[in-house]
Amino acid sequence: MPECHRLYQAQHKFKTLNNSNNGTALGSIIQLNSAYTDRVLEDIMKEHGSWDVLHAQTARGVWDEITIAHFQAASAYRTRSFVDAYTYQLASYNAFLRVFRDLPQWSLPVLYSLSRDLCDVAQRADNQLANTDAESSKLEEATRAINQGFSLCMTDREPLPNKSRKWGTYHMANTLFALYVRHKAYNLCDSMIRAIKTSEL
């Protein structure tokens, strides 16, 4: 496996921000179009001449999975390979959900950033697939993934308000509302409203 020192540095930065509970900073750099992501990709290109090295890396833990998939998604996004970018972004998002279920409120900005980029790249992937007459269902799949993040916020049992993920419920609900309306799934809007009303928010 070829070494990629710049990617290792990024992995260390992501882990450090996680360990220091700095969700605001982590949420700002884990965006596909963040200045930090741009710099890392530029450095990898200078170091290796391409981004192929990103696909030869092995994750040694969940934050490695999140980080590697993030930069794979970002590199595919920049080459307008939106279907591939969606696949990698979904992998990064799903890996984050595995740790998010045990994280408190500070991690919400990371969820928001990953969710926003997942929706964006899903729509772009569907548009790209539509141009080739291929089946386009990435946004529907992304909606199901976003719903998992919403559920992890709404069902959090943390009793301390300053640590509860429930603060993220309405933000994720707004994202889902927009997706449901786009799908004309108005019954799902009603179901979500009822779920929020019966939860302890």
Say what the pLDDT of residue 200 is.
66
Per-residue pLDDT 10s for the chain (201 aa) are 678 899 999 999 999 999 999 999 999 999 999 999 999 999 999 999 999 999 888 888 999 999 999 999 999 999 999 999 999 999 999 999 999 999 999 999 999 999 999 999 999 999 999 988 777 799 999 999 999 999 999 999 889 988 999 999 999 999 998 998 887 777 777 887 888 877 766
pLDDT recorded at residue 199: 73
Q: Please give the model's pTM, rounded to 2 decimal places.
A: 0.93
Q: Whose CA is closest to 70, among 149, 15, 136, 147?
A: 15
64, 66, 68, 165 from 60: Cα distances, Å:
6, 11, 11, 27
SS3 annotation, the chain: CCCCHHHHHHHHHHHHHHHCCCHHHHHHHCCCCCHHHHHHHHHHHHHHCCCHHHHHCCCCCHHHHHHHHHHHHHHHHHCCCHHHHHHHHHHHHHHHHHHHCCCCHHHHHHHHHHHHHHHHHHHHHHHHHHCCCCCCCHHHHHHHHHHHHHHHHHCCCCCCCCCCHHHHHHHHHHHHHHHHHHHCCHHHHHHHHHHHHHCCC
What the block records as the tokens of 26 is 């982590």
pLDDT tens profile 60-113: 899 999 999 999 999 999 999 999 999 999 999 999 999 999 999 999 999 999
Q: How far is CA 61 from CA 7, 68, 90, 99, 112, in A?
A: 14, 11, 17, 11, 22
